[in-house]
Chain A
Amino acid sequence: MAKKITIDPVTRIEGHLKIEVEIENGKVKNAWSSGTMARGFEALLTGKDPRDASYVTSRFCGVCYSVHQLASSRALDAAFGAKVPWGGNLIRNLVMGAEYIYDHPLHFYQLSALDYIDIMAIADYKGNDKDLLAVKDKIVSLVKAKDTYPLTPRYEPDEFTVKDPDIVISAVSHYLKALKMHAKARNMGAIWGGRTPHYQNIVVGGVTSFPDINQVARFRSMLDEQAKFISEIYIPDVLAFGTGPLWPLAQMGIGGGHHNYMSYGDFQLDKDGKKLLFPAGVMKGLNPADIKIDTVIPERITESVKYAWYKENKPVHPYNGEQIFNLDKKNAYSFVKAPRYEGTAMEVGPLARMIIAKNSDILALVEKGAKPGAVARHAARAIETKMVVDACYHWLDQLQTEMTKPGFKIHDTEHWDPPSSGMGAGFSEPPRGALGHWIRIRDKKIENYQAVVPSTWNASPRCDNGVRGQYEESLIGAPVPDPKNPVNVVRIIRSFDPCLACAIHVIDPQDNQIRKFIIE
């Protein structure tokens, strides 16, 4: 007999998510993913000064705000006809680079690690490393005081849980260290962003922060500290876990899902944006021996609202969507809409990016027998964090050179005032995956604003064709021997780094015309 269980709230994610699974013979047979909170940001933007958009949409998410500011500013750049000077682009790259540097390790240590280690094994640590003993004392004193919040309660450790006291204690000490590195990495972005969360410096036409040499030096020395942490602690930890205790999970490929991947590409490496650090592409059905990547054609994106709490409508392109809340709709179970590419559900995010980039480290892991899934997602994050760190050094050097040139520019002042009409799309690749913002301007005001964010792709419910979203599909077949302890379910869901506040922002259009836009 199938048994249905509900996990609500799914914790250690951003936003409010409910997961329901049906379990039969110790395996997940069916799954439903629901976003249970909505604000309605796009409705708010209708009628506003277009320049408000980059500020307001940064509040889609307090974890990855710069990416919305960036995608939004790019949509505005296109609609205003603004050309961002190279200096402005370099600073945009650097603040967004800082975002990768704090976000990925935070996800691994703070949001995911507790799913894989038995924190109480620390009590059995027999070594005499002074730092680790301090960590042991700490945990033991919490246990003695009978107050181990927020580290417990938790799902019971299972056969895949790491219980070796030496590994666990070093993971916990890195957990504490990572928290500190996280705060410091945020400070990096503040050098040009003004503050974090919610930078203030990315606007249409470029950035507002005219750099000076001290800031470049400061960013560089902070980057040095992060680079050391990433290559000496974060990457070795991910590799040690992924190819060690978690290797069986990697081989099982739990959390694989549809195996369709998409990336819009990001981080401009040259002035006209032809060369990107992360390439764009789309791929349906993984065949590691023969990876075929197609160009992304954004016109092929549609969103279905059949199972979402919006007024009934056919699947339509985001530019064309009518999204009016209907909280009473029968069969609906989420505020998240269901975006599809040519009718197919896609995975977006680090694994998609690294597969589309044909990254040799990820392909080597696959060759060794790891199937793309939850564990591979952690590996992909570590790999790309390193790529971003290396690129940041390069951008700093370039910025330093640019700054000394006469006529150095960071902003397109000619295109600051809103055009009387215009439209544009802006794309970026935040840590969580493909992000698109679309804007239409009429009478210098926002006529329509749309965003399709990474977690909308991954966390979507079923679409008109009944195709499950990526979270839902990735749960199918996951082992859950004890329905009271669905630890594999949360492992899989968290491997995507869900961001639900982002996924649900929605609303209101007025225009039903399909417009064209280009991705470049």
Chain B
Amino acid sequence: MIDHLPVLLIAVPIVGATLPLLVGLAADRTGWPLAALTLLVQAGLATWLGVAVATGGAVSYEVGGFAAPYGIELVVDGLSVAVVVLVAVVALGVLAYARRAGPHTDTFYSQYLLLVAGLSGMTVTGDVFNLYVFLEITGLAAYGLVATGDRPSAAVAALKYLLIGTVGASLYLFGAAYLLTATGTLNMAHLAELLGTEVAYDSTLVVTAFGLMVGGLAVKIALYPVHTWQPDAYSRAHDTVSVLISALVSTVAAYALARVLFSVFTVRFFEAVPAAQTALTVVAAVSIVAGSVLAVSQSEVQRMLAYSSVSQFGLVVGGFGVATPAAVIGGVVHLVGHAVMKGGLFGASGIVRRATGAARIEEYDGLAARAPVAAAAVAVLALAMVGVPPGVGFVGKWYIVLGALRAESWGLVAVLLASTVLTLAYFARLVERMYFTPPAGADEAHEPTVTDGGEASEASRPSSERASDGGADPVSLGMVALVVAAAVLAVALGPAVPAFEGAIEGAIQNLLNP
């Protein structure tokens, strides 16, 4: 059983994805319980695998018994197990949000499980072509999920996402084809062996393959300037979907970038082709600045959060680009931390819109009185993202800056430090409006305040123009619980990182010195 854990992580959600459709033929509204059951099993398997990897080291699985490098190999090491556990836990947590927030159709939960299968597959695969296939499975599920938004503009956002995302994935495939031409293999470990020995790192084929693969993944991560699909997709999608894809999809694509950088090309490629490292760091630095500037100029909260992702993934990729142990640890910590914080922020903004109808930043005036729990969660998550200790955002940035300092890339250090101020620039005004600006209509301030866990959301709703859409939707305990859990995790994960530092460092050292 333990031997088959890596493949079960992919097989369980795929088989589970067929169940809501099949059972849905006979009984109504079975999607949620079936998805919950599948994801409970998935989370159990992921945790089990996490314990196995932590105690026994990396696990490798040969699919169908064909020996690598000819067969397809699944590899789970310290880094991938962290991402697999993140995917399983976040997917399970978001289900608590989906219980009331819906969509309640059976097909939605089938797609939801397919997305989890694609993300798990991207994480555990040890084969560059397989990574492409799982990238497209993830993409297809994500396009479909974005289109489930209530408004017709969701379909437009999904089509835009599909067209740009497909070009990104195709570029990645093109790069993988270049690698196949150069070396004749697709297995990541085998590629790492052959590159630099059989094929020179600075040969045109290898450098082009690097550019195409990184460029393709940059589209999926939504780095500037290929981020244009992301704000529409995040803000037009259904609330549940926004939480799920903002927490996981770009995160796993960034993990795939780390895999390609360190398991395929390895740090020795950076030593042989310094221009590639420079290019990657420059793209990251531009993303940090441009994403923040775009976020500051937004008036819709969800679009601001989406542009903030462009900036935060710049930080993560910057950490990977520096490629020293401290910077890569920082990148991974910020990757996991960002998933928790951004998912929580999207969840909280969904709750606020349901409870009070507020979707724009100026409508957040005095929110602390109208929806205290959601406002507190937004404040905690925003401050953690800015990098206020002990939030997880602080720990991630600390390691990235430390790594960049040790690598003496001063330009990046300056941008990284400035990024804290830039992040503060768009989150501080949100916190300021929630806690220190009275609501626009003075008479509304005297209405009885209601907790956002409650039934009385109708009463707390401002009567006038704010209740444009979604104002009367119910907010359930599960939705609030997810957001509060994200806020608690964002604070608790920070101090926990030093405790795990030994384990993380070991995994990163293995990754950087294969």
A and B associate in one complex: no
Interface on B for A, CB 8 Å cutoff?
none
Using a CB–CB distance below 8 Å, which chain A residues touch chain B? none
